[in-house]
Structure 1
Amino acid sequence: MRRSGLAAVLGLGLLLGGCAATFQPMGTAVVQPQLNDKVLIAADGFELPMRSWLPADGKVRAAVVALHGYNDYSNAFDGAGRAFAAAGIATYAYDQRGFGATRDRGVWAGTPTLVSDAGTAVEMVHKRHPGVPVYLMGESMGGAVVLTAMTGPSPPKVDGTILVAPAVWGRQAMGFFPRAALWVTYTLVPGMVVHPPRDLNIRPSDNIEMLRALGRDPLVIKGSRVDALEGLTDLMGAALDACRQLQTPSLVLYGAHEEVLPPRPVERALKDFEAGGRHVVAVYPDGYHMLLRDLKGQLVVNDIVAWIADPKTPLASGADRAPRALLASK
């Protein structure tokens, strides 16, 4: 090999070596998990910043552990948390590993770690509110974590789950080109940070002011490492397969204007959720991906509060009786 060719190969090797895949899985258990007003401490000592919204009169009739979406953080539930508190429901949301104000922001923790943290949070909330019903709620990626946790070998002990536009877009629901692009970039440059193309014209919500605020929020991650997208894809694939296996009574919520997730896996998920007859499935005609923060987000919040009070009563919004075909009509 010519000297110039060898230098080029070595240079490429150094470049790619500098972009090696990086993950931050849970470490060895060294402490007893703890929950206080500001942080959830996992068994390996990792600190997860915590936000909570509690009833002003101290009378908690139910508690919700809330998991945020990809590149978001616990503040995603500020509006819903305040409304829940007014209805006597305590809400606890933490920044999942790799997101918000956690250490090594942007580095993927892995599905087993995210699932373990969710179980720890549920356990700690049970200890804080003994005898009170506890629900596990997840938005988008958080919904995928909930699905995977609840269908795993040691599911958290909850009275129900609330899935807000759960992310169910794994490889089995991707076309050839997205799968190929992910494989190539993960193989060659897993540490590269990519940003969503601006010409996709995807609307995650009709609440423009809220979206602008997220764009200004320094704790919202704007770009993604390729290895994090690889991990997210694995998680979403596991979540899609989990839809039919979910046994815990659940409230499943999607917007008819879902543009972040493709229609095909969402429609498959809806059919799987409805197959067992144990879940309440609702599609909001005016809803988008970020249902809780849409302009009509209060309607969704009210339905969640009512479902927690009585899961047998039809939702006041009528979204549980809306045509499912709306999702495919875009």
Structure 2
Amino acid sequence: MLRSCAVFLSILAASACVPRSMTVGDAVFAPRLEHGSAVTAAVMADGARLPILSFEPGNPRAVIIGLHGFNDYANAFADPGPGPWFAGRDIAFFAYDQRGFGRAPGRGHWAGDRQMARDLVEIVSLLRQRHPGAPVYLLGESMGGAVAMRAMALPEAPVVDGLILAAPAVWGWKTMNPFYATVLRIAAHTVPSVRLTGQGLDIWPSDNIEMLRALARDPQVIKETRIDAVYGLVGLMDGAYEASGNLGVPVLFLYGARDELVPSGPTAAALEAMRGSNAPVTALCYPEGWHMLLRDLQRQTVWDDIAAWIDGEDLPSGRRDLRPCGTLALD
């Protein structure tokens, strides 16, 4: 989507505006979960209600919190996503709609990377209280991976046992083509409410065509994106990139050789920074993997590797060689 910014050169003479972020209220409540037989939502300190999709076995041996990608929502982890599969293996899986996406408040508007990270901190705390003693892992897909990384840079970072980063979005200002960055900055400050559709771009996020068609039909998936939301996303990716060397917990890093959305260059640089930290990093490349690794046709292989990593076992795929992923280096 960012690669289409050049089309806005013809409208840079528009009247001056500023990127708009959604309004977030003051902290006046104690955060809480809404639940009956299953968790249905998390209510944040400002009263914002973030819907939760939960797959919860009776006595889970671990907890995964799923963070969806840009313009998506928690349903990304429902079938054909991994939520039910992990629950069938006694691993509780929770995914929530982040502010601005799906059924959460402020649909279509950017909440700010710090607010999104703070929401994650609160949700981790609430789910730890629900399942005391169970190890907790963050599974972030694309933008969700960036939110997880950004949260680890907060002074009040979430208490988790590991990060699972599936094609994390780390293509920020520092690694973006200067021309694209300049056009996006100007457009965000002149025509922030103009919406992008991505039509006409020959970019494929997955080889799972049936799943992509379902996304196109899903009314909760955002199809037209405000420029200032893209601008906010790049800022988040920048923060995630900066946090790469200070995550402080074990990391499982997943990337597909066919990824057409997050370039391998900044991905390799972020991975190198992670390896320079004190926390252990396991990095996997899937030669037939695309950007949406968790829902690609070979998704089962990815899920098996995640479960094995959580359990401290040898990874079934055995794909530790990152050479098929371009500039990514071998462990």
TM-score in terms of structure 1 length: 0.90
Q: Secondary structure at the match of 2:138?
A: strand
Aligned to 1:38: 40
Q: Secondary structure at the match of 2:95?
A: strand
Aligned to 1:101: 103
- Matched to 1:186, the amino acid is A
Cα deviation 1:291-328 (Å, max 9, x = unaligned): 00000101101111111111xx3311012x22334335
Aligned to 1:260: 261
Do structure 1's residue 22 and structure 2's residue 20 form an aligned pair?
A: yes
Contact 1:25 1:113 in 2 (8 A): no
Matches within 5 A, 1:169-208: 169-198=171-200, 200-208=201-209
- Matched to 1:72, the amino acid is D
- Matched to 1:21, the amino acid is P
Matches within 5 A, 1:264-279: 264-276=265-277, 278-279=280-281
Give distance in 2, aligned partners of 1:203 and 1:16. 35
Matches within 5 A, 1:159-170: 159-170=161-172
Give distance in 2, aligned partners of 1:293 and 1:212. 13
Contact 1:20 1:191 in 2 (8 A): no
Contact 1:68 1:95 in 2 (8 A): yes
Deviation at 1:208, TM superposition (A): 0.5
Matches within 5 A, 1:34-183: 34-36=32-34, 37-55=39-57, 58-78=58-78, 79-183=81-185
- Matched to 1:26, the amino acid is V
Deviation at 1:107, TM superposition (A): 0.4
Give distance in 2, aligned partners of 1:269 and 1:96. 24
- Matched to 2:325, the amino acid is L
TM-score in terms of structure 2 length: 0.89
Unaligned runs of 5+ in 2: 1-11
Aligned to 1:8: none
Max Rg structure: 1
In angstroms, what is the RMSD of aligned CA positions?
A: 1.8
Give distance in 2, aligned partners of 1:324 and 1:270. 14
Deviation at 1:31, TM superposition (A): 1.1
Deviation at 1:274, TM superposition (A): 2.8
Give distance in 1, aligned partners of 2:242 and 2:323. 20
Give distance in 2, aligned partners of 1:23 and 1:326. 35
Give distance in 1, aligned partners of 2:40 and 2:180. 39
Identical columns (%):
47
- Matched to 1:184, the amino acid is I
Q: Secondary structure at the match of 1:231?
A: helix
Q: Decide whether aligned partners of structure 1 residues 325 and 106 sit closer, same or farther in structure 2, where only a CA change above 3 A counts.
A: same
Give distance in 1, aligned partners of 2:326 and 2:41. 38
Deviation at 1:38, TM superposition (A): 1.5
Give distance in 1, aligned partners of 2:166 and 2:325. 17
Deviation at 1:26, TM superposition (A): 3.2
Q: Decide whether aligned partners of structure 1 residues 16 and 149 sit closer, same or farther in structure 2, where only a CA change above 3 A counts.
A: same
Q: Decide whether aligned partners of structure 1 residues 327 and 208 sit closer, same or farther in structure 2, where only a CA change above 3 A counts.
A: farther
Do structure 1's residue 224 and structure 2's residue 222 form an aligned pair?
A: no
Q: Secondary structure at the match of 2:111?
A: coil
Contact 2:138 2:148 in 1 (8 A): yes
Deviation at 1:77, TM superposition (A): 0.6
Following TM superposition, where does structure 1 have runs of at least 4 consecutive aligned residues deviating by more than 4 angstroms? none
Give distance in 1, aligned partners of 2:146 and 2:22. 19
Give distance in 1, aligned partners of 2:229 and 2:219. 19
Deviation at 1:25, TM superposition (A): 4.7
Deviation at 1:251, TM superposition (A): 0.8
Cα deviation 1:157-216 (Å, max 9, x = unaligned): 011111111000001111121011101211211111112142x32111010100010011
Give distance in 1, aligned partners of 2:234 and 2:325. 25
Aligned to 1:327: 326
Unaligned runs of 5+ in 1: 1-11
Deviation at 1:20, TM superposition (A): 5.2
Give distance in 1, aligned partners of 2:26 and 2:323. 45
